[in-house]
Chains A and B, each alone.
Chain A
Amino acid sequence: MMSKRILLIEDDPSDIELTQRALAKGRIANQLIVANDGQEALDYLFGMGAYKGRDTTDVPTLTLLDLKLPKVSGLDVLRRIRAEAVTRRMPVVILTSSREEQDMAAGYDLGVNSYITKPVDFERFVQSAVQLRLYWLVLNEEPPKVK
């Protein structure tokens, strides 16, 4: 049994660090894998590029996805995740600064499991992170693995 990993797809290093800090603050011990852009995230998930040879069946327990990403946008990443059988059931939470309605609509249309706006107030961000973990990694039943 693998440990429950969290994939954070985020380009802003500050945000990454803050997220890591927030998770740490929230006592989230799960392994945090960071992808700095969309392509990297896809490489990780589907065992390509730098991650060639990675067991692709071993999908992260939770993916936190920013929308505004270099190279491949967050929504495209989401689209790919949902298109592939292996990752189709993977829980994905959009974690973004954008409160644009169209972004939310597009996210939900593509089958995102949750949409969370990153608050400017870091404390609230920490709370969000804690709740995220609590929910997705503890309460939520993991989707069945795709064989």
Chain B
Amino acid sequence: MPMLRRQKLLAALPAIERYALSVLAVVCILAIRLVLDPVLANRAPYLFFLLAVALVRHLWGRGPGLLATVMGGVSAWYFIIEPRFSFAIANRVDTLNLAAYFAVGAGISFLGESASRLPASGAAGGRSIKLRVVRQTAVLAGAAVVLVGMVLLLQRDFRRTQEAEGWVVHTYQVMNSAESLLSTLKDAERGERGYLLTGDEAYLAPYNSAIAALPRGLNELKHLTSDNLRQQARWIAINRLTGERLAVLKRAVELRKASEVEAALTLVRSGEGELDMEELRSTLDEVIGEEHRLLAERTAEAKLQATRGRWILGLGSGALVLLLVFASAIIERETVRREEITQALRRHADLLEQAHDSLLTYRRGGPIDFWSRGAEILYGYTRPEAVGRSSHELLQSYHPLGMAPIDAMLERDGEWKGELTQTTKDGRKIIVEARWKVAVDAAGNKTVLEANHDITERKRAEEELRRVNRAMQTISECDQVLVRATEESHLLDDICGTMVQVGGYRMAWVGYVEHDEGKSVSPVAHAGFEEGYLQAANITWGDTERGQGPTGTAMRTRRPVVTRNIQTGPGFSPWREDALKRGYLSNVALPIILDDQVLGALTVYADEADAFDSAEVQLLTQLSDDLAYGIQALRTRAERKRAEEALRQSETQLREALLAAQMGVWEWTVETDTVTWDENLYRIAGRDPKLPAPSFQDQPQLYSRESWERLKSAVENALATGTLYDLDLEMVRPDGSKRWLIARGEPLRNANGHITHLRGTVQDITERKQAEAQNLLLATAIEQAAETVVITDRDATIQYVNPAFTRTTGYTRGEALGRNPRVLKSGRHDTKFYQDLWANLTAGKIWRGEFTNRRKDGTLYMEEATIAPVRDAHGEITNYIAIKSDITKRKRAEEALRESDQRYKDFISHTNEGVWRVELERPVPIDLPEEEIWERFAQNAYMAECNLAHARNLGFSTLEEVVGVPLRDLISPSDQERLESYRSATRGGLRNRTVEFRSRDKTGNFRHFLRAEIPIIQDGMLVRIWGINRDVTELRQAEEALKQSEYLLRESQRIGKIGSYELDLASGDVSCSVVMDDIFGIGRDYRKDAAGWLAFVHPDQREEIGAYLRQVIAEKKRFERDYRIVRPIDGAERWVSGNGELVLDSQSRPVKMIGTIRDITEAKRAEEALKRSEFLLRESQRVGRIGSYEFDIASGRFSTSATTDEIFGVGAEYPKDINGWLALVHPDERERMGALLQHAIAEKQRSESIFCIVRRCDGAERWVSANGDVVLDSQSRPVKVIGTIQDITEAKRAEEALKESELRFRQLFERSESALALFETVFYAQGNSSGYRCLDINPACERIMGVSRSQVLGRCAHEMYPALGKYCSQLFDRVAATDEPVAFEDYSPTLGRYFAGSAYSPRPNQFAVSFMDVNERKLAEESIRRLNLELEERVRSRTAELEAANQELEAFTHSVSHDLRAPLRGIDGWSLALLEDYGQRLDAQGNKYLLRVRSEAQRMGRLIDDLLHLSRVSRAELVHGTVDLTSLAEAIAARLKEANPGRPIEFVVAPNLKCRGDAPLLEVALTNLLDNAVKFTGPRTPARVEFGQTECDGNTAFFVRDNGVGFDMEYAGMLFAPFQRLHKTSEFPGMGIGLATVQRVIHRHGGRIWAEAQVGAGATLYFTLGENKS
């Protein structure tokens, strides 16, 4: 509101200014005028009148302008209306001048005013304006010329008039001069006569003075008449005559002086002088007459001048007025135009001010000259701040392409549209939608109009939406990548790629943290515009400068880090330049956290600042989490794969190892007696691998009998007790060759604990065995040889000496080794001896000879030596061996022998090795078959000799128990292995060998022995066997342990190569693998027992797992359970999967448990992650009602998501195959959909289809949209179809409803009987509507208009029917102006028919017209109208009659009111006069009569008044309005109280009584009613009058109730008749017309009035005002 007021004030300012100026001007004129003439005061009213007229005219808004009007008016008044006044001024010339100046002033003021009203040039542009201006200027110039001309002419005229007046004066001067001359002469004459007659000198005084004056008079006359020759001539005559007359006078005077009276008198009488005088007089008369004539001429001329002047003034004024009127008309028109334009401009300006858009204009390249309110609001610059500054500089407009192309486009097209970034005053960057236009005015100046609309918010919202969408899409795509990823590096590449391609980010990369010293970050994948950025980035995640970047910070803090703007972002300085060079403007780093460890980070760069808002970062964080899960899943998978690979490899290695170790593997299924061998075993057995392995039943043929026996018993034992066996076996190949084997077997149990399989290995140890035997024999032999054996290298440095050497020389082995045998030199041999020796040796020959050498103790000894060179494979001598025997001993042979024997016995008795000798009582020929040899050996072999160790080995405590005892008695038959070990001596040819066997000791434990056998054969007969049994139990146990660990290893490899353990159930001790320690996070030195293990188990499960373990042991089951542990080292919780097998002893008691523990935390987590991602997918599908499916082409099966099932209304059990699916499709579409699927697969195309299904669960028909992508394998064969299903029933239904409605509309449109046409407004470039183009018409329209649709479409209405087009335009303009439908009914001259219809605007810039041919109706209407007209005519004539009657009544009333009252007044008046003047002369009775006459007359007058009143009430025209009865009644009551000052009257008026009716009449009615009530309550004190409202027969009735005298209801019918009274006049005055009047009023309102009363109890008058109206 204040704003509006201000604008109004502003708009009024120029007007105020004008008024002020005008008032000032008037005051000035008044002041001048007042100064000039005080008389003016009398004329002031006229002046004011004129002023008033001028002001009124000015205020009216028309007229030549205030100042001009005032000036013109004042001038006119001054000089035209009151011309007489002008003579009040000094002279006429001044007056005229003044008039001219006034006229000029008025003209100038008028011109000035007119000019000020001229439109500013170029405001509207165009030639017409120029023309108008020229025309106006011409007219005004003409007016000015006329004005100036008039003034000039008047000036000339005035001059002439002045001259004429001069001449008049001149004439009068001449006349005066002439007359004075004459009178002077007469004076002279009179003086002369006087003197002559009297002689008195006194008479000579006038004479003399006249004489003296005459020449002067003459001179004056001469001078005055000098311009007239005729007058000059007359003057000469006058002069002469005067001279003559004077001469006569002089003469007479002389004569008289001379006292010649008579002579003098005579002279006088002679009349001589008289004649002259007469002549002079006549001449002077002539002169005067001449002057008079001249004066007449000049006066005539002056009159002429005056007339001419008046004409000039009149005509000039007329011309001036005409011109001014003409100019005024032009200017008026122009002013009106300008006013309209100004109004329009102001409206536009207001509009502009109202517009939210910022609007500004400026000359092209110049400063801003218009700055709208919208701009002020938008940019924050106020108008004064903005105007005068350059737009671009002020707003810093920014466009990605720069401003130059925009300028170019503005130059070329004159307009430009687009979006810009601009800066507001407070530095805010805003985005505007700019529409710029260049307007060219008439002068060719180019003005740029800028309309900028702030779309920052919209942009921001769009941008935000776009980003979130982008992020969502990116996540969706990345999830696809995650689901499909098979390899980590590809996954990372694909994720980065997707982020760049789908997400539209500039660059994305993934870096992994490196746990190196520098805490570096290694980029592992990237995509987008990178250009070596990462190479140079050199990022760390340490707390250094290069670790303060977003990536490093994110890795360190484990939180996403956003750099909103890289240009300013803190911590980005090391990379800023590189980043900006690559167009990175903002980024976000998202940590990838795996198992609570920061694995790395995903960093994304965008090419705009502030690209990452919180929503997007949240989404991206989710993405990085998904990525972490993806990586984890892949790693788990890779880990599994690696484990598998390792297992496979280890199997291969094992196989190879087995091969290398000549170890075969077999397995025997007990029940079916089928045996499988591996290829090694075939090779060992020398059998054809193609043949099946011999069953156990067939196996005796494979072994020597003894071996078979042992094997058989071992197997039986194993089957019975479940224990392992380990045998040395002799195998006989089909070719007869024998092989020594170490055979191991292991029984395998099934789930029930029954032994179903045996499995084992066979190792060919033949070669080893042979070699070992041989080596041992040799070594033993040499060691034990009596001869000294010395082995040197080729340089004769001693490398080996045997004990005999020490014995012989006294040098210990330690002393000897590394020295030259030369130390033994005794010096008994010469050099040549040695030379020969060496010559032999170096030649490779064996040297034999004797030495005398010196022992260490210096004693000499003799020895026989054999020295032989030893050659290597190449024949090179590598060593020398010397075997020497002390021949000194021979001498003391017996002694030595005994000593030696003793030493031997000592040795064997003290050694731990069992040394024995078995002698045969009867030597056995060695060419017998083996078995035979064995038989005989076993029969007659006896223990000839052995040491105590051996005896103990055999289970005896003394030698006596053993020595001399047959072998068969020594060895218990159950000790098969020992037996077999002896047997080995007879097997495979009698030769030295080493046999390994085991034998149970007294405690029942096996002890392992390695036996060296030396069979002694003499003359082809075996006579004895030497042997040494070495107890290798420890060794074997070690080996056993090794084997065990191998088994464990194998087992763990079999299960997963994780941790393995062995739990000793008796002691509770646990042995476990290193892996196990890793899993549990403990060191090797950790105390391991069952309790300790249980302590690892997560507290929640500890009890349960303990119970389970006990149960497993009690029930001898397999331990198999996943459980959680808590690692003491770091408190981490991990999932492990435990397996354990119980090992039972021979009594089938559980001895220990062997098993594995596998860490399955990753698997568990992966499982959970998978579950979670599946959940998310499922959930997102469910929410979006999008189901997915996967169709495996090979199997023909679908797998579907839950949402898909939901859409189809099927359960999980529904058959998901082609038929099942087709069964869901609506029968009508089944064929099509089947074909579509086939086609898609065949063409490997994406398929998109919409079809109807019948839901299985409720049979509802639903529309679904399905699409599917065909997935191809590497050979580009279709493998499967993956796609989605969406329930679009609602959308489809809406679409169909739309279609239906469209169809309905179309049908309506097509079939409507009304013509329907749709137009759109066509605009000129300036935005004015130029016409209406037809968009569509219906057949009815075609029919009615007689045109075809094709003819009119796209054409404008005025093209088709110019007349109609104009009509349409008017119609549509009206619709456009009011925005309301316009109904029309009109006759179309074009078509000669009537149309009726309506036009409305269905949407902006469109008009729909619906009309009908109403010709028939119209014609019918026309006839009705005619009939109506006739009727009306009749009514009118009746009405006229009635009106005439009414008029008569009027006249009657009029005459009654006037004519009847006049005589009454007369009667009354004259009665009064009679009373007054002659009252005394009448008696009392006479007076009384006269008073009666008066009162009757007065009563008559009142009667007439009341009658008139009643008739007025009847005649008055009703004007209905809302009448406030309450206030009306209150006002009347107040009046009545005033009128009855002495009476206490109580008025009760109900509040808020309102009705519709004629206020004055109702006032009359109410006044009468209340007046009556007051009147009839006269006797009551207090009187009570009530006015209220009540209900009566459903109508509102008002009532007036009093407590007055009331009346008898019997007479109620008379109550409302005029002049009827129920009371005497003396009681209650009145004419009895009041209630009649009231009734008349009520009836005229269509109401009803009635009364209820009781005598003495008051009356109530009710009235209604029309039925059902209140």
Contact = CB atoms under 8 A, between A and B. Distances in A.
Contact of A147 (B42, B1459, B1471): B42
Interface stretch (A32-40, A76-84, A120-128, A131-139): A120-128
Contact of B1458 (A68, A119, A122, A123): A68
B419 to A, nearest CB: 70
Interface string B1402-1434: 000000000000000000000000000000000
A118 B1461 contact: yes
A97 B1458 contact: yes
A101 B45 CA distance: 35
B1472 interface: yes
A21 interface: yes
Contacts of A97: 1457-1459, 1461-1462, 1465
B78 to A, nearest CB: 16
Given A18-B1469, A120-B1497, A120-B1500, A99 B1508 contact: yes
B1354 interface: no
Interface in B1485-1503: 1494, 1497-1498, 1500-1502
A15 B1500 CA distance: 18
B1487 to A, nearest CB: 15
A15 B1470 CA distance: 10
A101 B1472 CA distance: 30
Contacts of B1518: none
A120 B1462 CA distance: 7
A123 B1458 CA distance: 19
Given A119-B1501, A120-B1497, A121-B1501, A15 B1466 contact: yes
A100 interface: yes
Interface string A57-77: 000000000011000000000
Given A101-B1512, A118-B1465, A68 B1459 contact: yes
Nearest to A14: B1466
B1508 A122 contact: no
B1468 interface: yes
Contact of A122 (B1454, B1457, B1469): B1469
A96 B1457 CA distance: 10
B1505 interface: yes
Given A120-B1498, A121-B1498, A147-B42, A98 B1465 contact: no
Contact of A14 (B1469, B1494, B1501): B1469
Interface residues of A, number: 23
Nearest to A67: B1458
A97 B1473 CA distance: 20
Max chain B C-beta neighbours (<10 A), residue from A18, A120, A144? A120
A12 interface: yes
B1502 to A, nearest CB: 8
A120 B1457 CA distance: 11
Max chain A C-beta neighbours (<10 A), residue from B1461, B1464, B1465? B1465
A21 B1512 CA distance: 33
Contact of A15 (B1453, B1465, B1505, B1512): B1465
Contacts of A119: 1465, 1501
Contacts of A98: 1454, 1457-1458
Nearest to A25: B1476
B1469 A21 contact: yes
A123 B45 CA distance: 42
A12 B1473 contact: no
B1465 A100 contact: no
B1473 A21 contact: yes
Given A14-B1470, A121-B1501, A144-B45, A99 B1465 contact: no
Interface string A25-46: 0000000000000000000000
Interface in B1538-1589: none
Contacts of A14: 1462-1463, 1465-1466, 1469-1470
Nearest to A68: B1458
Given A14-B1462, A120-B1461, A120-B1498, A100 B1469 contact: no
Nearest to A22: B1469
Max chain A C-beta neighbours (<10 A), residue from B45, B1457, B1459, B1502? B1457
A101 B1501 CA distance: 18
B1519 to A, nearest CB: 14
Contacts of A96: 1458
Contact of B1465 (A18, A67, A103, A144): A18
A117 B234 CA distance: 86
Given A99-B1508, A100-B1454, A122 B1459 contact: no
A100 B1505 CA distance: 10
Interface string B1430-1453: 000000000000000000000001
Contacts of B1500: 120
Contacts of A18: 1465-1466, 1469-1470, 1473
Interface in A95-113: 96-101, 103
A123 B1471 CA distance: 11
B1468 A122 contact: yes
Contacts of A147: 42
A120 B1458 contact: no
A100 B1459 CA distance: 13
A34 B999 CA distance: 186
B1464 A120 contact: yes
A122 B1465 CA distance: 6
B40 to A, nearest CB: 13
A98 B1494 CA distance: 20
Given A68-B1459, A96-B1458, A99-B1508, A120 B1453 contact: no
A41 B1500 CA distance: 31
A147 B45 CA distance: 10
A14 B1470 CA distance: 9
Contacts of B1457: 97-100
Contacts of A103: 1454
A69 to B, nearest CB: 11
A57 B1454 CA distance: 35
A147 B39 CA distance: 14
Contacts of B1453: 100
A143 B1500 CA distance: 40
Nearest to A96: B1458
Contacts of A121: 1468, 1494, 1498, 1501
B1449 to A, nearest CB: 12
A102 to B, nearest CB: 8
A101 B1457 CA distance: 11
A118 B1505 CA distance: 12
A120 B1505 CA distance: 10
Contacts of B1501: 119-121
A12 B1472 contact: no
Max chain B C-beta neighbours (<10 A), residue from A100, A125, A144? A100
B1512 A125 contact: no
A118 B42 CA distance: 40
B1448 to A, nearest CB: 15
A144 B1494 CA distance: 43
Max chain A C-beta neighbours (<10 A), residue from B45, B1453, B1461, B1505? B1461
A123 B1465 CA distance: 10
Given A15-B1466, A100-B1508, A121-B1498, 7 more contacts: A14-B1462, A15-B1462, A103-B1454, A120-B1465, A121-B1501, A122-B1473, A122-B1494
4 tightest Cβ-Cβ pairs between the two chains A and B: A120-B1501, A122-B1469, A14-B1466, A97-B1461
29 contacts: A12-B1462, A12-B1466, A14-B1462, A14-B1466, A15-B1462, A15-B1465, A18-B1466, A18-B1473, A21-B1469, A21-B1473, A68-B1454, A68-B1459, A97-B1457, A97-B1458, A97-B1459, A98-B1454, A100-B1453, A100-B1457, A118-B1462, A118-B1465, A120-B1464, A120-B1468, A121-B1498, A121-B1501, A122-B1469, A122-B1494, A123-B1472, A125-B1469, A147-B42
Interface of B: 42, 45, 1453-1454, 1457-1459, 1461-1466, 1468-1473, 1494, 1497-1498, 1500-1502, 1505, 1508, 1512
